[in-house]
Structure formats: C-alpha cells, structure tokens
Structure 1
C-alpha cells in the first residue's frame, strides 16, 4: 500500500496563485462597479471594439462642438446686452435733443449730458469678455473705439481740421459766423466724412469689418460677433460730436436749429442701426441654440449605443465583488492557518 501526501508548500503556492487571480478580478470588478463599463473593452467586445472606438470619437467631437457653441453663445449674449445698453444711451441723447430749448442753462445741461453719453457709449463699445473685445470683429484683441473727449484726441483734431477747412472756403473765421444754411452744408459733408471708411478707421475705430464666424454644426457656419464700423456706431458718434461742439450760446439760434435737426436725424439712424445689429445677433443666437440642441440629441443617441456596447450589469458586478472578497478572506484565513503548522507542535 502506498501513502500519498501534500506538502504545506504546494498548498501555499496554490493559494497564493488563487489570491493573485482573485485580487486582479476584484480590481476589475470594482472598476466596473464604479465606471459602469467593462474594465477591458478589447476582451469583452472583441470584434465590436472598433465600433465602440468610433462611437467614442463621435462623442468627443460632439462634446467639443458643444463647448465651441457655448463660447459663441456667451459672446453673442454679451454682445446683445451691450447693444441694448448702447441703444438706451442713444435714446437718452435723442431725448436731450428733443427737449432742447434756447436757454443757456438748458444748452449747458444738454451738451454735458450728450458728452457724458458719448463717453459711456465709448466705454460700452470697448467691453471685453474673456479677453476678447465684443465689437472689434476679427480684431478681437484690439480695443475698437477711440475716444473723442480725451486730451489730444486724434478724432477731435480731425473734426477741427474739417471745420477749419470749411470756414476757410467760406471766408469765415469762426463757427459763430456760420448761417443756418452753411451749418447744414458743413454737417452734411461732415456726416459723409464720418461714413468714409478711411476717416472712420483712422480716427474713430480700430475694429475689423469682418465678424468672427463659428462652425456650429457639421454643415452650418454663422457670424458670432459684430463690429463698431456699422452705421449705428458712426451715426451716434457723429450726432454726439456735433451736438457737444455746436450747441453753445456762441452759435446763433437759427444755426443751432440746423445742428439740432442734423443731430436728431443722425441719432435716429443710430438707434435704428443698433437695433438692426441686435436683431442680427439675436438670429445668430437662435441658430446656435438650435444647433446645440441638435448636437445634444445626437450625443444622447450615441451615449445609448455606447452604453449598450460597453455597459455592464452593475448589480452582477457588485455580486462578483462580494464573492471575490469572500474568496480572498477565506484564502487569507487558510493561508494563515497553514503558516502556523509546525512539526514542533507534534514533538
């Protein structure tokens, strides 16, 4: 009769191997419980791994596009709010001109109000969000509007030069000598000068005529900014400049009427132009919103497909975790007991 035996060393080796496998399986099961997807997609999906990768890439593309749209929406929303403020400032100038009388105190108040409005208009026009100026077009890193009222203003010097040239052509020495007809003629020419791109870009605006465009979907590109070269901006600055310069007691009342009429007509164009820009911005905002909604729907569909491919039964994974933990605990206990075996205890 032959007697067989098992050494404690072989049992310990087998247990250690079992524990190593159990620890590895436990780590994977814990990861699956936490993430809700297979720990090793290649092993679990096999031939469908490439489809899973394609869907994941599509998901990243959609998320990137939605982030881009979010940035565009922020710029559009900020631009719309700024344009609303500019329209309110323009309306304030309109109210001052409509309520204007010939008294000295009223003229001073109106001129002060309009000058203050011009400064406020310039400040709002130079608004920046996240380091980008809203009304600079593609020159988003450059402040768009130049100040008329600051000391040494090139725009103020250019307007004075235009006035001096006209006075010289009429044989006059000061604006106070201008008749209503001459003032009307001069302001018509000055307004045309403000509408000249060379003059405007040299003395009033550093904005680009080209707006920022953004691809908001695979097939759609929209303007997501506006600029300070529009008619609304030009007309407001012209109206404010001539009002602050010529609505004084030194100018004859009949001549001031020409100034008021010209400024009132210009500020009306400004309000209309600014509202047109707001409408354009609003349409772009709506298109971005619809595109983002469509992207969100596509993302939801892809997420469903990815979950069908990669998703695990979390309940089943949790059960495996519990079973593996029990196995490891039993292995630890048995290993401890085997290590305590010794012939000394039997001698």
Structure 2
C-alpha cells in the first residue's frame, strides 16, 4: 500500500495545529497575568456554580463593610459634636457660677451665652458629606435654627429669641426693654408676676419642649436606622430633638436674653441659679447620649470584625477554586511559546518545498 501526503493536506494540518498552539498560548498568557483560570466554566465544571455563589456573597460582604464604615464615620462625627456640646456647656456653667457673686456681671455672661448658643447650633448642624447627623430621618436639612433668626412673618414661625421675647411681653404685659423689668421680683409676687413663676410657666417652658420643633428644630424624633449585617439593624443618626439639647438651650437662653437686662440683684441671682440647673440637666443628658452613641459604635466595629472574618474565609475558598498554580502557569506559558515558535518554523520550511527542486 502506498501512502501519499499532498502539500495541501500538510498545510491544512499545520494550520490547524498552529491555531491550537495559538489558543494554548493565549490561555497561558491570560492565566499567567491574572493568576486565575482562563475559562472558569471549562476548568471548574460542576463547581462553577459554587464559585459564583461564593463571589456573590463576597461582594455583598464588601458592600456591607463600606456601609458600616460610613456609619462609623457618622458616629465619630456625632461623638465629636456631643463632646464639644457638653464641654462648652460645662465650661460656661463654671464661668456662670464664678460670676454669680459679682453684681452686674450677668451682662458679661449674656454676651458669652450668645456665643455658646451659636456653638450649640453649629454642633447640631454637623454634617458628613451633606448628611446632617442630628436631623433624625431628615438628614438632608440643617436641623437647628439660628438663635437670633428674625422671622419675615407668618407663616414662618418666630425665631427662638423672638419667641422668648414675645412670651415675656405677653406674660408681663410690657416690652422686655421696659424700665418696669428692673422691678420684677425673683419670686413671691401675689399675682405671679415674678421670675420664678414666669420661668415655670407653660408658655416659656414649651419653647424648649413642646414647641421645640416650631422655633428651634426641623429634625424628626425618628432616627435613621442602618442594617449592619443580615437581620441586624442599629440607630444610624441622632436627633436635635433630644431633651438634653432643649435643656442646654434653655440654660443658655435665660442668660443670653435676660442677663443683658437691668435687673435687681435678687433677680440676677435667681436667673443665674435657674440657668445653672438647666445646664446641669442638659450636660448630664448629653453625656448619656454620648455614651449610648459610643456603645452603638463599638457594636458596629465588632460586627465589622465578624464581617471581615467571613469575607476572608470566602476569599480563601474562591481563590482555591479560581486561582492557578503560578509556577505551573509560568512553565505552561514558556512551553506554549516554544511550541508555537517551532510550529511557525516548520510551517515556513514546508512552504519552501517545491517539486521542481527534485526533478
């Protein structure tokens, strides 16, 4: 039997072999560069679904970590703001007590109180990337109004200072700057026209309580919640409507608005004491909020540690399935390059064959 091989059949066979070698080289290049299988479905077979499931869960955990880190940032900012509020109020309270024994020094404290009210407003309006951390669920709007805001008229509510002056005028039936203000007794007036009765009146107390959201705050009582892991949520924002802030504002406002007036000595002492009492309550409650905020932050950070551990375990399992042996990949790349070069060389020699050379 005689076998014959034509130039055409040899060329076609070499072309097919060349295509195979080129594909092998491409696969080796991809695996050597990415350190992963070039064709996951072909290599993993039935395990492809498991790899896809692991990777999906891995990305979910990564997304959860990003969300939790943003939450920790907000909590850190809230911590700083709360710390500033209670430290500023504590310092002002100490100064107020020191000034108490000196007549007419309440006017000095009044100027300081306006500054402290600005600090309180700025702290309550703290934001992170446009998210107001004390806005409740209304995180897109600065929650605290400026103390000296002047209302343009209905339906815009009066600013805090305007409302305090209005309540004073309505209660005592004369303007706050009227000379009669100097004769208002600290307490004991049979008609209740004294400082003690006024400062305990619903009209005045409501400015810092029931009517807080009318004149001071646009925040909601409801706070934003964040999911920190599957099935676990936690508080993700604060609220400017906390009673602590109302008490701080009351203590500072009493000194700011009434401390600048011409008052008798007993009235000055009474107003100072009342302001100190309000600040005491406000400082204690602010510290309690700060402690609660710290506990939430600790819980989120603990959860983050658990999520990181789960993510790392998944990453190991994914790598076991998808990664190639780097040494083996390098050897295969070298072999593929050598064989492809040899195939090119053989192909070139075959193309040079000519029957005329042998006739």
Confirm or deny a common fold (TM above 0.5). yes
What corresponds to 1:196 in structure 2? 209
Q: 1:90 to 1:3 in 2, by over 3 A?
A: closer
What corresponds to 1:4 in structure 2? 4
Moved more, 146-155 or 41-50: 146-155
Distance in 1, matches of 2:261 and 2:67, equals 55
What corresponds to 2:108 in structure 1? 109
What corresponds to 1:162 in structure 2? 167
Kept in 2: contact 1:243–1:259 (CA 8 A): yes
Kept in 1: contact 2:209–2:243 (CA 8 A): no
What corresponds to 2:190 in structure 1? none
Kept in 2: contact 1:136–1:144 (CA 8 A): yes
Q: 1:2 to 1:88 in 2, by over 3 A?
A: same
Q: 1:250 to 1:42 in 2, by over 3 A?
A: same
Q: Which runs of 5+ in 1 are unaligned?
A: none
Q: 1:235 to 1:44 in 2, by over 3 A?
A: same
Residue 314 (structure 1) aligned to one of 319, 326, 335: 326
Distance apart, 1:34 and its partner CA:
2.7
What corresponds to 1:18 in structure 2? 17
What corresponds to 1:298 in structure 2? 310
Distance in 1, matches of 2:75 and 2:3, equals 89
What corresponds to 2:133 in structure 1? 134
Deviations 1:286-330 (A, max 9, x none): 110111111111112222222222222121111111110111122
Distance in 2, matches of 1:222 and 1:116, equals 34
Distance in 1, matches of 2:98 and 2:358, equals 117
Kept in 2: contact 1:33–1:314 (CA 8 A): yes
What corresponds to 1:180 in structure 2? 186
What corresponds to 2:52 in structure 1? 53
Kept in 1: contact 2:164–2:207 (CA 8 A): no
What corresponds to 1:232 in structure 2? 244
Moved more, 228-237 or 143-152: 143-152
What corresponds to 2:36 in structure 1? 37
Distance in 2, matches of 1:118 and 1:195, equals 13
RMSD: 2.3
What corresponds to 1:74 in structure 2? 73
Distance in 2, matches of 1:162 and 1:249, equals 16
Distance apart, 1:48 and its partner CA:
1.9
Count of residues in correspondence between the two structures? 342
Kept in 2: contact 1:226–1:277 (CA 8 A): no
Distance in 1, matches of 2:71 and 2:259, equals 42
Kept in 2: contact 1:96–1:114 (CA 8 A): no
Distance apart, 1:276 and its partner CA:
1.1
Moved more, 226-235 or 144-153: 144-153
- Could you tell me the TM-score, scaled by structure 1's length? 0.91
Deviations 1:54-73 (A, max 9, x none): 21222122112111111111
Moved more, 149-158 or 113-122: 149-158
What corresponds to 2:88 in structure 1? 89
Distance in 2, matches of 1:116 and 1:6, equals 100
Distance apart, 1:271 and its partner CA:
1.0
- Could you tell me the TM-score, scaled by structure 2's length? 0.88
Deviations 1:14-39 (A, max 9, x none): 23322222222222222222333222
Distance apart, 1:191 and its partner CA:
5.7
Q: 1:150 to 1:195 in 2, by over 3 A?
A: closer
Q: Which runs of 5+ in 2 are unaligned?
A: 152-157, 188-193
Kept in 2: contact 1:225–1:281 (CA 8 A): no
Distance in 2, matches of 1:206 and 1:143, equals 8
Kept in 2: contact 1:214–1:224 (CA 8 A): yes
Q: Secondary structure, in 3 states, of the residue corresponding to 1:214?
A: strand
